[in-house]
Chains A and B, each alone.
Chain A
């Protein structure tokens, strides 16, 4: 079965979505990520969506839900690299990704996670 790879870096999990996800693949990623957070005792999750040229309500919901599930499992999620056209479209669609932390790129997202963990 097709899967999106999840990389571990210390106590962080890194996901780079590089394919146009169909709905089942998005749900699989959500399940895999929550399982890996527990398995690896991860404290942070970085989801890089810079290669995604659309985020519709389904993928938006998956990102929100993943962040909420991770938070309950004591891990912070940061979504990084959203393209400007995607941000414009998302808001017009009616999704504002409440509760999802974002950063402009992987580097800034990583810095944000490190800062949060030092507290």
Chain B
């Protein structure tokens, strides 16, 4: 899952892609890329919309709170199930209180405080790892419904 292993994986699957998150425009590029991948694996329109929206929220968090970072987009397979996995990595200040950060309406950045909790609700799986002074990694997954 580490971003550094991406280069060796790239030859195996061109579906995996790492995108930098350094500016507002990168967030727009990421949304476009996620939309393409979501269509590719056959997610419904509503699921596509949820996945792209969740990606947009987390990409903005990476930028606002992490300073900058990157997003890894992967098409994943589990048995017969196919899905989309996205990882958002920053080396920012980290989150001191994760439960609080996941609370709707809580924000330190002047936003609405819906980004983390909202992204969690929109996806099937959500995993957040953070360490103060080291950074934050958020992994989200959406599985295609049969």
Show the binding face of A for B, using Cβ within 8 Å: 20-25, 53-58, 60-61, 83-86, 88-89, 92-95
B49 near A20 with CB under 8 A, answer no
A89 near B117 with CB under 8 A, answer no
B56 near A56 with CB under 8 A, answer yes
B46 near A54 with CB under 8 A, answer no
Contacts between chains A and B (CB distance < 8 A), count: 72
Number of B positions contacting A (CB below 8 A): 26
B56 near A88 with CB under 8 A, answer no
CA distance A89 to B114 in the complex (A): 13
From B31, B35, B46, contact of A89 by CB (8 A): B46
A56 near B57 with CB under 8 A, answer yes
A53 near B112 with CB under 8 A, answer no
- Given A22-B28, A88-B49, A89-B49: A53 and B122 interface contact (C-beta under 8 Å): no
- Given A20-B31, A22-B25, A95-B112: A57 and B118 interface contact (C-beta under 8 Å): yes
Distance (whole angstroms) from the CB of A58 to the closest CB of chain B: 6
Indicate whether B131 reaches chain A with its CB closer than 8 angstroms.
no
Indicate whether B48 reaches chain A with its CB closer than 8 angstroms.
yes
